[in-house]
Amino acid sequence: MSNRFKPFLMLLLVAAMGSAQAESWQGTGPMPLDYRAYIRDFNTGDDRGLVEKYFTPDTQMITGSGVRSGHKGLNEFLADAHNGVREIIRPQVVMWDADHIFAEIDMDFVASKARPDFVFGPMQAGDIRTVKFFAQYTVVNGKVKTLKTMTWPAEKGVTKAPRLGDAAGQRASFLAYTRAFSSGLPEKYSAFYTDDVKLTLSSVGVLNGKQAIVDFYTKMFRTVREDLEIRQIVFDDHAIVGDFTSVFTAVGDAPDFVVAPLKKGESIRVPVFVYYTLRDGLISEIRVARSGAPTRP
């Protein structure tokens, strides 16, 4: 067997055995393109910029569902696939020779809206689904000429990243959390909490535990829905700090609403600072403080 193909055979054997636990990068000579930079740019969510920078004009993407040709075909495919869903690459094994890159990838799909038609199964806001991909890139003059991909069933044989933190996928997950919350999906947004999470609201007091928070908002959302608008936010692996506007909209008459009485259809905007404490990638404490006076649009 040619030495050229031995790294690819090794990769297939490792993947088949399911033994890849940490990132492994190895190859013959320099990589034909900077795959670490490709991953960084892919994970920003700028699909058109990615295609322009890394793919030849006559590129082909070959998958089990068909062939997409050229920048136009690839951009159309990505626009549809990423409509309300962020796709985050987490490479497990990467190998290369002078003209190819072969990668085993755990791909996280993070939903910020409902996608009942999603290719790897229906998704709601707040869902995170991980799918193992095997990808072969044929590279010509530093750009991808051909990309071939295969997948396993969703959640089979994959690693899972902590939900929240400073990485690109974890930032996308926080947006998905806010969309699940604003959509009134308690089983989705509460999945981002530790069981002993604590919420402190200046107008209500302290709510202790995941179920207490779910019960409070489930009751409130019967008459008033809350939409979180992000103005500015800072992430690290221990905390998320944000400048938000909470937009409260009455779906029924709410004369006793704690912020202000609202009639059905009325809304009120409240600027708030929110400090989320993280533990093992989940929210363990939420502290909310008003940062300005409520206004009515």
Segment holding 108, helix H or strand E:
strand 100-111
Q: Give the model confidence (pLDDT) of 100-137 as tens digits.
A: 999 999 999 999 999 999 999 999 999 999 999 999 99
pLDDT at 146: 98
Q: How far apart are CA 102 and CA 136, in angstroms?
A: 5
pLDDT at 297: 82
Phi, psi of 179 (to 5 degrees): -70, -40
Contact call for residues 99 and 137 (beta carbons, < 8 A) = no
Contact call for residues 236 and 224 (beta carbons, < 8 A) = no
Helix (H, G, I), strand (E, B) or coil at 101: strand
Rounded to 5°, angle at Cα 231 from 283 and 247: 80
Tell me the percentage of the chain whose pLDDT exceeds 70.
Answer: 93
Split at pLDDT 50, 70, 90, the class of 262 is: very high
| Structural domains for the chain | 3-151 (3.10.450.50), 168-290 (3.10.450.50)
Task: Quote the tokens at residue 201.
Answer: 């609201």
pLDDT at 210 over 50: yes
Helix (H, G, I), strand (E, B) or coil at 216: helix
Contact call for residues 93 and 24 (beta carbons, < 8 A) = yes
Split at pLDDT 50, 70, 90, the class of 23 is: confident
DSSP secondary structure string for all residues of 237-267: SSEEEEEEEEEEEESS-BTT-SSS-B-TT-E
What residue has token string 């993407």?
61
pLDDT at 7: 46
pLDDT at 22: 63
pLDDT at 202: 84
Tell me the percentage of the chain whose pLDDT exceeds 90.
Answer: 91
Whether the predicted model's global pTM rises above the 0.85 cut? yes
